[in-house]
């Protein structure tokens, strides 16, 4: 029996959605993005253990919005060049006029 990842995650990560309606398989990208951008180390470990390294790698490269620190962490941790991440390529194609 495989324990659902939702049972291991901080409920506060999903303050804006109905937590009970989140499906761990269907919403894997959403869950992973929340954990990477707002979660704790324990949340990260839970996601990594639940999805496995290879599935997690395939999920994180598809995330559209990651801050620079999280992108750098994921790139180094999973040994994936930044240019392979959707968020990196999306950011490069949508540069802002005013970069403060």
| Half-sphere exposure for 41 (CA within 13 Å, toward CB) | 0
**What are the extents of the domains in the chain?**
5-93
Reported pTM = 0.83
First CA to last CA distance, the chain: 51
> 15 by DSSP, 3-state: which?
coil
Those residues of the chain that have pLDDT short of 70 are 1-3, 91-100
Residue 57 has a pLDDT of 97
Residue 1 has a pLDDT of 40
Residue 4 has a pLDDT of 80
């Amino acid at each position: 029996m495989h324990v659902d990842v939702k049972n291991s995650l901080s409920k506060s990560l999903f303050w804006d959605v109905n937590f009970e309606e989140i499906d761990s398989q269907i919403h894997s990208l959403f869950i992973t993005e929340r954990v990477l951008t707002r979660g704790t180390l324990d949340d990260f470990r839970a996601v990594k253990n639940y999805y496995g390294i290879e599935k997690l790698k395939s999920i994180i490269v598809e995330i559209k919005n990651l801050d620079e620190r999280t992108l750098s962490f994921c790139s180094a941790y999973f040994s994936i060049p930044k240019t392979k991440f959707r968020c990196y390529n999306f950011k490069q194609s949508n540069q802002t006029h005013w970069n403060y």
